[in-house]
Amino acid sequence: MKAEIIAVGTELLLGQITNTNARFISGRLAEAGIDVYYHTVVGDNPERLSQSIKLAQQRADILIFSGGLGPTKDDLTKQTIAHELGCELVSNEEAMKTIEEYFDHVGKVMTENNKQQALVLKGSTVLPNRNGMAPGIAIGKADKQYILLPGPPHEMEPMFEHEAIPYLLGVYGKQDIISSKVLKLQGIGESELEVRLQSLLEKQTNPTIAPLASPGMVKLRITAKAKTEEEAQKLISPVEQEIRAIVGEFIYGVDDDTLASKTTELLLQNDWSISAAESLTSGMFMAELGSQPGIGNALKGGVVVYNKEMKIEQLGILSSLLDFHGVVSSECAEAMAESIKERCSTTIGISLTGAAGPEPHDGQPPGTVWIGIAIEGMKTASYKLQLSGSRNTNRMRSVQFALHYLIQMMREKKELKY
C-alpha cells in the first residue's frame, strides 16, 4: 500500500511556514505499515493542484491532502478534488451544527463564507474536527483512497490519529507494522561506522540498518517490518546484539536518550555529586546538564574561568603550571578538575579548557580542547580533542565529548564499586 502526502498552501512555498504535517503523517503511516514514496507541496492554485492530483493517482493508492479546507477564498482543496473526482459537494449537517455552535459560543455573527467549511464530498466519510470548524473528509474512488485534512497541526494531528488511521486500517485491514529502534553513538564518525558494519549493513533486508549523522553524534536506525510489535522486536533484537558486539563501546543510549540524560541517570542512581570548571565552553556544560529534571540533586555548580588570571584566582591553579604547560594542556585540565571537585566537595569534578577558535589560543591551534575528569577514588584523567568546526560547533561538541568521557569513567567507577 503506497501513500502520497500533498500539502496545499502558498505560505509553504513562500517559506513562511514549515511542512511539519508531512512529517507527522509520514510517521503515523510508517507505524501503520503504509509506505510513503513522495511528499508534494503545491500552492493555493487549482490548476497546479489538479496536476498534482493526477500525478499522485499514477504513483500512489492513498492520497492524503492537508490544508485548504478553511473559509477563505484561497481554500480550494475540496472544490478541486471534487472536480477531479467528478463528485458533488454537499453541506454536512453535523459540520454545519458545529460551526453554528462555535459562533454562538464566541458570540459572533457567522459570515457567509464560513458555510463553505461544512461542504463535503457526496458519499464521503466525514472526519470530525475536535479543535476547529472544518471537518476532514475520507472517500474511496476507483480503488484509490482520498483523505482531506485541515492544515493547522493542532486540528490535523488528532484527526489523523483518531479518525483517518482507523478509517484506513478499516479499508485495508491491518497492514504490517514498521517498528524502529535507534542506537545513539558518540566518538565514532558516520563513515568509519559504516565501514565497521559493512558486512552487516549489506546482508540486512528486514530489519534494515541506516546510519544517520547529526552534529557531534551518529545514530543507527534499525527498522523492522512485521505483523505485530512483538515480531518486530524479535527481528530487531538479534541485529542490535550483533551491532553492539562490533561497536558497543560507542553506544551510549537508545531512542530518546541523550548524553545529558544518561549522565544524569548515572549520577542520580549512584548518588554522586558533580561540579565543573569551564573555560572555552563558558557554562555550556553546566547549562546542558542543568536542563535535566532532578539534576539539582547531583549538580552543585562550578565556575567559569575564561582567562588565565581567573584560573589562578578562582581555582588556585599554580601560575607556574600555566606558564610551563599553558592553559590548553592536559596538566591544566586535570588541575582544574581536581580543584573544582575539592572546592565544591563533590564526587566528580570535570573541566574543559581549549581554543574554541577562530584564532589560536595560548599557542594552540583552534579546535584543540582538553577535558579533565577527577572522580573520587579514581585516577584523574584527561582527554584531548582536535575539532575542526566553527567556534560554536567546537564548543557544543566539546560538551558532548565531555559527557561521553564522563559516562565512560562513571561506568568504570560502577564496576569498581560493585
Residues 45-84 that bind its own copies (CB under 8 A): 45, 48, 52, 55, 70-74
Query: From residue 196, how far is each of 7, 155, 218 by CA, in Å?
Result: 40, 45, 14
Which one of 137-145, 227-235, 254-262, 288-296 is the stretch in contact with its own copies (CB under 8 A)? 288-296
Cell triple for 288: 546542558
What are the residues whose beta carbons fall under 8 Å from the beta carbon of 135, sequence distance 6 or more?
A: 69, 92, 94, 95, 98, 117, 118, 120, 126, 127, 128, 129
Residue 207: cis peptide before it, omega within 30 degrees of 0: yes
Q: Which is nearer to its own copies, 299 or 381 (CB)?
A: 299
Degrees to nearest 5, angle at CA 236 with 233 and 242:
140
Residues 347-406 that bind its own copies (CB under 8 A): 358, 367, 386-393, 395
Within 10 A of 256 (CB to CB), how many other CB atoms are there? 8
Looking at residue 319, its amino acid is S
Query: From residue 377, how far is each of 240, 320, 347, 358, 409 by CA, in Å?
Result: 34, 27, 9, 38, 11
Element (DSSP H or E) covering residue 218: strand 217-226
326 lies in the binding site for its own copies (CB under 8 A): no
Q: Which is nearer to its own copies, 125 or 194 (CB)?
A: 194
Contact, 394 vs 387, CB < 8 A?
yes
258 lies in the binding site for its own copies (CB under 8 A): no
Residues 81-100 that bind its own copies (CB under 8 A): none
Of 199, 206, 270, 291, the residue at the interface with its own copies (CB under 8 A) is: 291
Q: Which is nearer to its own copies, 309 or 323 (CB)?
A: 309
- Rounded Cα–Cα distance for residues 59 and 301 (Å): 58
Binding string to its own copies for residues 116 to 135, with x set by CB under 8 A, is what?
--------------xx----
Element (DSSP H or E) covering residue 148: strand 144-149
16 lies in the binding site for its own copies (CB under 8 A): yes
Residues 175-194 that bind its own copies (CB under 8 A): 178, 180, 189-192, 194
223 lies in the binding site for its own copies (CB under 8 A): yes
Q: Is the dihedral of CA 251, 257, 260, 264 positive or negative?
A: negative
272 lies in the binding site for its own copies (CB under 8 A): no
307 lies in the binding site for its own copies (CB under 8 A): yes
- Rounded Cα–Cα distance for residues 112 and 136 (Å): 20
140 lies in the binding site for its own copies (CB under 8 A): no
Cell triple for 91: 453541506
246 lies in the binding site for its own copies (CB under 8 A): no
Which one of 168-176, 241-249, 291-299, 318-326 is the stretch in contact with its own copies (CB under 8 A)? 291-299
Of 60, 148, 267, 344, the residue at the interface with its own copies (CB under 8 A) is: 344
Nearest CA to 405 out of 380, 368, 373 is that of: 373
Instruction: Quote the least distance from Cβ 326 to its own copies, whole Å.
Output: 16
Of 303, 332, 337, 381, the residue at the interface with its own copies (CB under 8 A) is: 303
Instruction: Quote the least distance from Cβ 289 to its own copies, whole Å.
Output: 7
Which one of 76-84, 226-234, 305-313, 317-325 is the stretch in contact with its own copies (CB under 8 A)? 305-313
Of 171, 213, 246, 318, the residue at the interface with its own copies (CB under 8 A) is: 213
